[in-house]
Amino acid sequence: MTIKKTLTGIVLVGTLALSGCEDNQKDNQPNNNPYQIIRGAPISVAENYDEWGSTLATVLDINGKHVLAYTSNGRTRSNAEATALIQSEISDGDEELIELMGNYYENRFVIKRVNANGYQVDF
């Protein structure tokens, strides 16, 4: 009886140790995504068109801090779609957060992807 309990204990400890190693190895994997993700409530959105293309800018409220974000690619359709999505989120009044993927450049956020209202727009 003592041998069975001892063997059961060894197997249990070994299993827990191995599963812990697997989780640690997953956590130590490098993140291949070079972009940051921010989430906030959109306060305003605007877009501008000229002969070279278009740009979109939005202000998000992230935990009481306002972040100015913009696109820099000039793709008219992507900017129009993202503007419509962000504006729909502002207009529906449910204060649902939107998600932006990109990087900070100085004190502004350069948008590479917008996720809002179940849609995704890439730039």
Residue 106 amino acid letter: E
Question: What pTM was estimated for this model as a whole?
Answer: 0.72
Averaged pLDDT, groups of 10, the chain, 123 residues long: 48 44 49 89 94 92 98 88 97 93 97 96 94
The pLDDT of residue 107 is 94
Where in the chain does DSSP place strands (E)? 36-50, 53-62, 65-70, 98-105, 108-116, 119-122
The domain 36-122 is classified under which CATH number: 3.40.50.800, 3.30.930.10, 1.10.10.10, 2.40.50.140?
2.40.50.140
Residue 72 tokens read as 């820099």
